[in-house]
C-alpha cells in the first residue's frame, strides 16, 4: 500500500462538509443502548439497527465513512448485500474498530490501558479483505485525583502508535483516538492540561513508530469541563480552548481531525463543532465522528415501533448528519 493511497483515503474521510458516523459499539455497549430504550439485544435486532443507519437514503451527502464492529462487518442487509459492499457502492468508506477494549493498568490504580495488539496484523489483513479501509483504536484517559499518571498516558500512546504503524502496513488508515473522559468534576483548564499532555505524548509516539501522519486521522475529545463540574464553560470557550490545544500539539501535515461526542447532547456537539469552524482558517479540517450524538434520537424513535418507524428514524439520522456536516463548515444555524 502506498502512502498516496492512504493519504487519499484519509482526505476523503474529512472531505469538506462530511464526517463519520461511529456505529462500532461492542455487543456489550449496544446492549446498554438497546436496554435504555427497551430493545431486545438479539443478533437480528443489532443487524436491523445497523442496516437502518447504513442504508439511510443519501447518507453520503454528509457522511464520508462509518466505523463498524467486528460482528457488523460480517453482516449483510436483509437483501443479502454485505454491509461493507453496500457502503462502498453508496460512497461510504467502511471502517472497523480493532481494539479489544480497556483493561486495568497494572500499577496504576483507577487507570486503564487499551489492549488488542497481539495478533493485530492478521486481523487487519482480514478486515482489509472484508472491505475496511480505515480502522479505529480508542484509548481512554480518566481525570481524577492524581490521575492521569504519565505512565498511563505513555502506555496508551505507545499502544496507539504500534496499532497505527500496523494499520499503515496493512493498507488501512489509522484513526487514533485518545479520549479524555468527561466524567468528573474538573474544570476546563484541567481538561486542557491533560489533553495537551496526551496529544504531545501521542504525536511523540507516532513519530517513534515511524507512522506517516499524511495517512493518519486524529479522533479527539473536546476541551471541556467535566460533567459534574459547576463551572461549565460556554460554547465559545470550549471551541477556543479546543482549537488552541490542537494548534499547539497537532502537526499541520495531518489530513484532518474528527471529534467524538463523549456524552455531550446532540445540540452541544453540533454547536461546539460549528463554533470551532467559525474561528477562521485552521491547519486541518475539523469534523465529527460521533456515535451517540449521531444516533440517540433515531434509536429512541425506532424503539417505539421497529417496523413502522424504520424510515422515520432514517430521516432523523439524515437530519443529524446534515446538521453536523454544516457544522463542519461553520455553517450550522442552530
Ligand atoms: P461517542 O460520540 O458516543 O462518544 O462515540 C464515538 C466513539 O466512537 C467513541 O470511540
Domain with residue 164: its CATH number is: 3.20.20.70
Residue nearest to atom 5 of ligand 1 (CA): 291
Residue 7, domain member (yes or no): yes
Is pLDDT at 10 greater than 90 in this prediction?
A: yes
Domain assignment present for 92: yes
Which atom belonging to ligand 1 lies closest to the Cα atom of 24? Answer: 8
Distance CA 307, CA 303 (A): 9
Rounded CA-CA distance 301/317 in Å is: 11
| Domain contains 39 | yes
Ligand 1 pocket mutation, candidates 63, 221, 289, criterion most atoms within 8 A of CB: 289
Residue 75: φ, ψ to 5°: -100, 170
What is the tens place of the pLDDT at every residue in 203-254? 999 999 999 999 999 999 999 999 999 999 999 999 999 999 999 999 999 9
51 and 77 Cβ atoms separated by less than 8 Å: yes
Nearest Cα neighbor of 114 from 172, 168, 149, 156 is 156
- What's the grid cell of residue 214? 499524511
Q: Which of 98, 163, 261, 296 to mutate to test the pocket of ligand 1 (most atoms within 8 A of CB)?
A: 261
Ligand 1 atom 9: residue of nearest CA = 260
Atom of ligand 1 nearest to the CA of 67: 8
The answer for 213, left when phi > 0, alpha when psi is -120 to 50, beta otherwise, is alpha
In a domain, 223, yes or no: yes
Residue 261 Cβ inside 6 Å of ligand 1? The answer reads yes
Total domains present in the chain: 1
Between strands 286-290 and 112-114, the pairing is unpaired
Query: Is residue 70 within 8 Å of residue 124, measured between CB atoms?
Result: no
Is-catalytic flag, 179? no
3-state SS assignment for residue 220:
strand
Residue 189 dihedral angles phi and psi, to the nearest 5°:
-65, -40
Q: Which stretch of DSSP H or E encloses residue 204?
A: helix 188-208
- 286 pairs with which residues across the strands? 257
Query: Of 25, 51, 177, 323, which one is the catalytic site residue?
Result: 177
Is 285 close to ligand 1, i.e. is its CB under 6 Å away? no
Annotation says 58 is catalytic: no
Listed in sequence order, the residues at least 6 apart from 249 whose beta carbon sits closer than 8 Å to its beta carbon are 196, 199, 200, 203
pTM score: 0.98
Flag whether 229 is in a domain.
yes
Residue 107 belongs to domain spanning:
3-327
User: In this predicted model, what pLDDT tens digit does every residue of 281-319 receive, in sequence order?
Assistant: 999 999 999 999 999 999 999 999 999 999 999 999 999
Measured between its terminal Cα atoms, the distance across the chain in Å is: 42
Q: Is the CB of 266 within 6 Å of ligand 1?
A: no
What digits encode the pLDDT tens for the residues 147-204?
A: 999 999 999 999 999 999 999 999 999 999 999 999 999 999 999 999 999 999 999 9
Q: Is 142 left (phi over 0), alpha (psi -120 to 50) or beta?
A: beta
Query: What distance in angstroms lies between residue 296's CA and the mean position of ligand 1's atoms?
Result: 12
Report pLDDT for 268.
Answer: 98
Sign of the torsion formed by the C-alpha atoms of 38, 42, 45 and 49: positive
**What's the pLDDT score for residue 1?**
67
Q: Please indicate, yes or no, if residue 91 is contained in any of the structural domains.
A: yes
Instruction: State the catalytic residue, choosing from 219, 240, 331, 333.
Output: 219
- Ligand 1 within 6 A of 152 CB? no
Sign of torsion, CA 294 61 285 202? Answer: positive
> Is 334 a domain residue?
no
pLDDT digits (tens, 9 = 90+) for 64-118: 999 999 999 999 999 999 999 999 999 999 999 999 999 999 999 999 999 999 9
CB of 294 closer than 8 Å to CB of 260 = no
Pairwise CA distance, residues 245 & 263, whole Å: 20
Residue 57 pLDDT > 70: yes
The contacts found for 191-195 with CB under 8 angstroms, 24 or more apart, are 191/143, 191/223, 191/224, 191/225, 191/226, 191/241, 192/223, 192/241, 192/244, 192/245, 194/141, 194/143, 194/148, 195/220, 195/221, 195/223, 195/245
Strand partners, 134: 95, 173
What is the pLDDT at residue 169? 98
Residue 133 counted as domain residue: yes
- Cα of 145 vs centre of ligand 1, distance in Å, is 25
Amino acid at each position: 500500500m502506498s502512502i498516496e493511497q492512504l493519504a487519499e483515503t484519509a482526505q476523503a474521510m474529512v472531505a469538506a462538509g462530511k464526517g463519520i458516523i461511529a456505529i462500532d459499539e461492542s455487543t456489550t455497549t449496544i446492549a446498554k443502548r438497546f436496554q435504555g430504550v427497551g430493545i431486545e439485544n438479539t443478533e437480528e435486532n443489532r443487524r436491523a439497527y445497523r442496516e437502518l443507519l447504513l442504508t439511510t437514503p443519501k447518507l453520503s451527502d454528509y457522511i464520508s465513512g462509518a466505523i463498524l464492529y467486528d460482528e457488523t462487518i460480517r453482516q449483510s442487509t436483509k437483501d443479502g448485500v454485505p454491509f461493507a459492499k453496500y457502503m462502498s457502492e453508496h460512497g461510504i468508506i467502511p471502517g472497523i474498530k480493532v481494539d479489544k477494549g480497556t483493561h486495568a493498568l497494572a500499577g496504576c490504580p483507577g487507570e486503564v490501558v487499551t489492549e488488542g495488539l497481539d495478533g493485530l496484523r492478521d486481523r487487519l489483513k482480514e478486515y482489509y479483505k472484508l472491505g475496511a479501509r480505515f480502522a479505529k483504536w480508542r484509548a481512554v484517559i480518566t481525570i481524577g485525583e492524581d490521575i492521569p499518571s504519565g505512565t498511563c498516558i505513555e502506555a496508551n500512546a505507545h499502544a496507539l502508535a504500534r496499532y497505527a504503524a500496523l494499520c499503515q502496513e496493512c493498507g488501512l488508515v489509522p484513526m487514533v483516538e485518545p479520549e479524555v473522559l468527561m466524567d468528573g468534576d474538573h474544570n476546563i483548564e484541567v481538561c486542557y492540561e491533560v489533553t495537551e499532555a496526551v496529544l504531545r505524548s501521542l504525536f511523540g509516539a507516532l513519530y517513534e513508530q515511524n507512522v506517516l501522519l499524511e495517512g493518519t486521522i486524529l479522533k479527539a475529545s473536546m476541551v471541556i469541563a467535566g460533567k459534574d463540574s459547576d463551572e461549565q464553560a460556554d460554547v465559545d470557550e470550549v471551541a477556543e480552548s479546543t482549537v488552541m490545544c490542537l494548534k499547539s500539539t497537532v502537526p499541520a501535515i495531518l489530513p484532518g481531525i474528527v471529534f467524538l461526542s463523549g456524552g455531550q447532547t446532540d445540540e452541544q456537539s453540533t454547536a461546539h463543532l460549528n463554533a470551532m469552524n467559525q474561528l477562521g482558517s485552521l491547519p486541518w479540517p475539523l469534523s465529527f465522528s460521533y456515535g451517540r450524538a449521531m444516533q440517540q434520537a433515531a434509536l429512541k424513535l425506532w424503539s417505539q415501533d421497529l417496523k413502522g418507524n424504520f424510515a422515520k428514524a432514517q430521516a432523523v439520522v439524515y437530519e443529524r448528519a446534515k446538521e453536523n456536516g454544516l457544522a463542519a463548515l461553520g455553517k450550522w444555524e442552530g
